[in-house]
A and B are shown apart, each in its own frame.
Chain A
Amino acid sequence: MTQPQPTQPHDTQWPRWEVFKQDSEKRPYQAIGSVHAGDPDHALVTARNVFVRRPAAVSLWAVREADILTATPQELVSTPDVLGVTGVAGLYHVGIKKSHKRSMTFVDLVGAVQATGPGDALGQAHEQHPDALAWLVFPDAAKVATDPDPGTVESWFAPATEKTYKQQQYYGTIGRHVGELKRSGQMPGRVNEHPHVGDQPAVKHNEEPVK
């Protein structure tokens, strides 16, 4: 990956942190995007402002991009050296990408392994989940997390749930329902029922509905 070039006197391209969000205690942490931040507190506050405006979260982790190792099946073939990357030994979290379905998240964290370094952790992740579409590992020691104290969870995450005017359901049905307009012949069906890629019809994915 191309590294940022510090070309300006006041380069504000602070380190990138990958953000992992847990929607509820029963759900896995999921990789949802990244933020730029100067330190752990800055990373977590920015992550909340960018990724948790709605609807629900109970915890956030942030991990510097430099501490994360990822690979796709294609990369394991083109650059197998990635499995030899050395680093600190210890507990590594493992994330995998499970499908090509439409999704908001890159990988779900599915467990952790004891490893001699990131390359070893990636190798173990590959062995345990050979059919994954991407693997991601980082040392537990590298993560920073929001405070699990219930009061902090409440103050950080409850407003996103309580501000119901940010949900489209808040507005209900405005005017006649689209179905009624369709039955009266005013509302045509979809223009392009079969999206195409070039001259080929696009494959019908088992896409998750947009929530």
Chain B
Amino acid sequence: MTQTQPNLPKYISAGETPEQHAAFEARIAAGEKIEPGDWMPAEYRRQLIRMISQHAHSEVVGMLPEGEWISKAPTLKRKTILMAKVQDEAGHGQYLYHAAETLGITREEMIEALLTRKAKYSSIFNYPTTTWADVGMVGWLVDGAAIKNQTMLAGCSYGPYSRAMVRICSEETFHHKQGKEMIVLYAQGTPEQKQMAQDALNRWWWPAVQMLGPHDSDSPNTGELSRWGIKLKTNDEVRQEFINEHVPELMEAGLTIPDPDMHQDENGNWIHGPIDWTEFWAVIKGERGLGKERIATRQAAQDEGAWVREALEAYMARPKGEAAD
């Protein structure tokens, strides 16, 4: 961004005035929702496009590891549940692309950014799912962590993003519940089943704790995002909520949290030990994990679906009066 107004903070872009910003922030502080036709700072628009499109891509890429398990589901019941969950993720991606489009970016541009790896998505989907129990653990922990973040975003200041989030949260609770049910049943099952659940917890606990983002001290965008009512809580606050809910429930299921330092403090909060961020950053940078494979799978879907889009276009362009069937 070019710094044309040296005396103003950098979130005030060229052509914007502190008075406009003050009026905008007053609306947000009064609990008003910002709608697409309203005045908004250029930086607010830019940050929202970044966040919402990343979020949409995460829903779309989130389908890929789960989709691989549909044909391997152990029962028809679990297969129908998993299919419904994957369908939901596709729908959630669509809700979010719609919300981002209201800010002046096209769906085509966003998908292009995903496929050329210019846009990010949650790196949690680049971790491998090793056994069927991982499918349940992903539902319980990854969706559980995502719901904490999404519940916060449902209260955000941008109307279309907030509405998409309210709709997503109401559907996502099913994803969380089905995963929790599956793991609790495995944990009560045969020794082999219990071990499967424990192994899945060992694989997913730390990635789930990390997916809520770096510590507040290392999160560069938090200041602006909280000033504008986009993030109502910090990464560490959301992480604490996630841990507080899940630690007692995992313990009750008879599982062991892979964190020897986990303990309850005098306020009742469950406190985690030091987080080793090495793997998190390595997966984000693509040095580890399945980032290349995920985008290749998404690109293949795009390429293999080209004939469907072309057929639809030919159908749309057919001469008027030609029978549809």
**A contact set with B: CB distance below 8 Å:** 1-2, 4-5, 7-8, 10-14, 16, 32-36, 38-39, 41-42, 49-51, 53-54, 70-72, 74-75, 78, 97, 100, 102-106, 133-134, 163, 165-168, 170-171, 174-176, 178, 181, 185-192, 195-198, 200, 202-203, 205, 207, 210-211
Asked if A196 and B232 sit within 8 Å, CB to CB, the answer is yes
Task: Judge whether A5 and B106 touch: CB under 8 Å.
Answer: yes
Find chain A residues with CB under 8 A from B228 CB.
197
Residue B211 at the A interface, CB < 8 A? no
Contacts of B151 in A (CB 8 A): 210
Q: Are B101 and A74 neighbours in the complex by a CB distance under 8 Å?
A: no
Contact B166 A181 (CB under 8 A): no
In the complex, the answer to whether B154 meets A187 with C-beta atoms within 8 Å is no
- Docked complex Cα distance between A4 and B109 (Å): 9
Choose, from B33-41, B51-59, B124-132, B191-199, the stretch at the interface. Answer: B33-41
Q: Would you call B268 and A188 a contact (CB within 8 A)?
A: yes
| Residues in A neighbouring B252, C-beta threshold 8 A | 175-176, 181, 186
- Is B218 part of the binding interface, using a Cβ–Cβ cutoff of 8 Å? no
Docked Cα-Cα span, A49 to B94, in Å, equals: 10
Task: Judge if B267 is at the interface, Cβ distance under 8 Å.
Answer: yes
Task: Return the chain B residue nearest A16 by Cβ.
Answer: B101
B149 at interface, CB cutoff 8 A: no
Interface of A is mostly: loop
Interface residue from B36, B94, B160, B241 paired with A35 (Cβ < 8 Å): B94
The CA of A1 and the CA of B163, in the complex, are separated in Å by 19
CB–CB A175/B226 < 8 A: no
CB distance A72 to B37 under 8 Å?
yes
Are B32 and A100 within 8 A (Cβ)?
yes
Within the complex, which residue of A51, A70, A171, A192 is in contact with B177, where a contact is CB–CB below 8 Å? A171
Q: A1-B36, A191-B269, A203-B29 in contact; A198/B170 too (CB < 8 A)?
A: no
Choose one: B29, B77, B104, B154; the contact of A210 (CB below 8 Å): B154
Q: Does B233 contact A (CB under 8 A)?
A: yes
Q: How far is the CA of A75 from the CA of B316 in the complex (A)?
A: 35
Cα separation A211 to B270 with both chains bound (whole Å): 29
Nearest-neighbour CB distance to chain B for A15, whole angstroms, equals 10
Q: Which residues of A contact B261 (CB under 8 A)?
A: none
Task: Please give 8 more A-B residue pairs, beta carbons under 8 A apart, in addition to A106-B159, A174-B177.
Answer: A53-B84, A100-B33, A104-B170, A186-B252, A197-B227, A198-B226, A202-B229, A202-B232
Contact A188 B237 (CB under 8 A): no
Q: A195 — which chain B residues lie within 8 A by C-beta?
A: 152, 155, 232-233
Contact A12 B229 (CB under 8 A): no
Q: Which 6 A-B pairs have the closest CB atoms?
A: A188-B268, A2-B104, A203-B31, A38-B316, A195-B232, A186-B248
Inter-chain CA distance A187–B264, complex, in Å, is 10
The residues in B between 204 and 233 inclusive whose CB is less than 8 angstroms from any CB of A are 223, 226-229, 232-233
Q: Is the CB–CB distance between A168 and B267 below 8 Å?
A: no
**Of residues 225 to 272 in B, which have CB atoms within 8 Å of A's CB atoms?**
226-229, 232-233, 237, 240-241, 244-245, 248-249, 251-253, 264, 267-270
Query: Within B153-184, which residues are at the interface with A (CB < 8 Å)?
Result: 154-155, 157, 159-160, 162-164, 166-167, 169-171, 173-174, 176-178, 180-181, 184
Q: Contacts A75-B38, A174-B180 hold; do A196 and B29 have CB atoms under 8 A apart?
A: no
**Which single residue of chain B is at the shortest CB-CB distance from A38?**
B316
* Residue numbers in A under 8 Å from B312 (CB-CB): 14, 38, 42
Q: Give, as a whole number of angstroms, the nearest-CB distance from A22 to chain B.
A: 16
Q: Contacts A8-B108, A10-B310, A168-B174; is A174 near B84 (CB within 8 Å)?
A: no
Q: Do residues B241 and A192 form an inter-chain contact, with CB atoms below 8 A?
A: yes
> Contact at B154–A102, with CB atoms within 8 Å?
yes
- Which residues of B sit under 8 angstroms from A210, Cβ to Cβ? 151, 154, 166, 169-170
